[in-house]
């Protein structure tokens, strides 16, 4: 279960009472067991690229899929359950395209085209920040279409290659790639995104080849990852964008804060406020059931479970992150005395 990535020790977490790798695994398994039992009413839907959304009554074995992974700042990865099952990044890809657009153009130029205000609306809503003539933020579809287009490259193919390189650097996994079947299905069911994209061209928020931009965005959504990959990507974000496994700086340091701020305020769809209140770390979810949570200075969490709550966030994923945050005092505004990872507190659930 424990994957040794790099030789640095878990001690790097500098926990007050240092847990061993075995203890961490044990705690992870106990947490997994507690969250596996899903309250039936918390799952409102499932999403599949070919079928779109469907109700829990139509779900098959996907209702039982559940994986959790943790990546430490020292580059060790711990996983439990379906931590090796791959699934499409979907909206999780928006983080990395945004990071790349920021690295390419800098903060001011990107801000001219896409804002940093939570919209309070669902990710696919057709609303814009009319006052500033731009999509509200890069985590809703309208904003993500703009940021993917902003990525430098002479063609959508070249932009995609650069986004893929960024994803691979974040995950420390050269094998990440577009799943062609997912992309084909996404493209077949893209009327909503197509409508948003054409409307934005009409309003001069984007220009040029709308189908090319749409194809680029849907391909980045169709890149498959495991929750172990997500955990490393999260740990990279949490570690000043230095991948803790490979040691590579994958985004310029000044951009890290920009990305984390947007994740904190806009990453969890229209439940971002509740998430910030309860869990309190920068995070992002995707309709495939993935959640990535970056715990600044500490490490990363990746969860996969396709049952979605009414906001489109993985129901079990929310539960896992909420419990981990409460138990270890991970909230970014927690006092030092509540911090059971680097601070003085003991985990509230010691199992």
**Residues that are catalytic:** 91, 94, 217, 269, 287
d(CA 176, CA 313): 23
Closest approach, Cβ 97 to ligand GLN, in A, equals 12
Residue closer to ligand GLN by CB (options 172, 290) is: 290
The residues, any chain, with a CB within 8 Å of residue 141's CB and separated by 6 or more, are 123, 124, 192, 193, 196, 217
Which tokens is 187 given? 């493209």
3-state secondary structure of 72: strand
Closest approach, Cβ 133 to ligand GLN, in A, equals 22
d(CA 253, CA 272): 25
d(CA 22, CA 272): 33
Which tokens is 118 given? 């939570």
From the list 23, 95, 83, 74, the residue with the least C-alpha distance to 298 is 74
Provide φ and ψ at 326, rounded to 5°: -65, -45
Residue closer to ligand GLN by CB (options 221, 266) is: 221
CB-facing half-sphere around the CA of 232: CA atoms within 13 A: 29
Closest approach, Cβ 56 to ligand GLN, in A, equals 18
Residue closer to ligand GLN by CB (options 92, 242) is: 92
Binding site for ligand GLN (CB under 6 A): 90-91, 123-124, 141, 186, 193, 221, 286-287
From the list 135, 117, 131, the residue with the least C-alpha distance to 206 is 135
Per DSSP, what are the bridge partners of residue 285? 291
DSSP state of 222: T
Residue closer to ligand GLN by CB (options 99, 290) is: 290
Closest approach, Cβ 193 to ligand GLN, in A, equals 5
Closest approach, Cβ 10 to ligand GLN, in A, equals 32
Q: What is the largest CA-CA distance in the chain?
A: 59
Residue closer to ligand GLN by CB (options 96, 123) is: 123
């Amino acid at each position: 279960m424990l994957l040794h990535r790099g030789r640095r020790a878990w001690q790097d977490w500098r926990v007050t009472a240092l847990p061993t790798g075995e203890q961490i695994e044990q705690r992870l398994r106990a947490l997994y067991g507690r969250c596996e039992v899903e309250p039936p009413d918390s799952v409102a839907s499932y999403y599949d690229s070919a079928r779109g959304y469907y109700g829990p009554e139509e779900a098959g074995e996907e209702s039982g899929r559940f994986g959790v992974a943790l990546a430490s700042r020292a580059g060790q990865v711990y996983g439990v359950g379906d931590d090796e099952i791959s699934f499409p990044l979907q909206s999780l890809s928006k983080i990395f395209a945004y990071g790349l657009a920021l690295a390419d153009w800098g903060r001011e130029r990107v801000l001219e085209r896409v804002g940093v205000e939570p919209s309070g609306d669902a990710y696919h809503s057709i609303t814009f920040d009319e006052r500033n003539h731009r999509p509200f933020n890069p985590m809703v579809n309208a904003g993500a279409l703009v940021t993917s287009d902003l990525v430098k490259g002479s063609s959508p193919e070249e932009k995609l290659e650069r986004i893929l390189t960024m994803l691979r650097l974040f995950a420390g996994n050269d094998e990440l790639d577009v799943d062609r079947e997912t992309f084909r299905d996404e493209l077949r069911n893209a009327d909503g995104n197509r409508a948003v994209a054409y409307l934005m061209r009409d309003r001069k928020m984007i220009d040029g080849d709308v189908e090319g931009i749409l194809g680029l965005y849907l391909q980045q959504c169709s890149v498959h990852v495991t929750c172990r990959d997500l955990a490393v990507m999260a740990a990279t974000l949490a570690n000043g964008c230095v991948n803790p496994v490979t040691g590579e700086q994958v985004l310029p340091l000044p951009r890290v804060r920009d990305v984390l701020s947007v994740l904190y305020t806009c990453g969890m769809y229209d439940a971002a406020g509740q998430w910030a209140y309860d869990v309190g770390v920068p995070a992002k979810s995707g309709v495939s059931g993935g959640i990535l949570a970056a715990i600044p200075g500490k490490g990363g969490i990746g969860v996969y479970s396709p049952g979605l709550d009414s906001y489109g966030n993985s129901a079990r994923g929310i539960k896992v992150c909420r419990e981990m945050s409460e138990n270890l005092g991970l909230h970014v505004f927690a006092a030092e005395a509540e911090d059971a990872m680097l601070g003085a507190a003991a985990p509230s659930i010691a199992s």
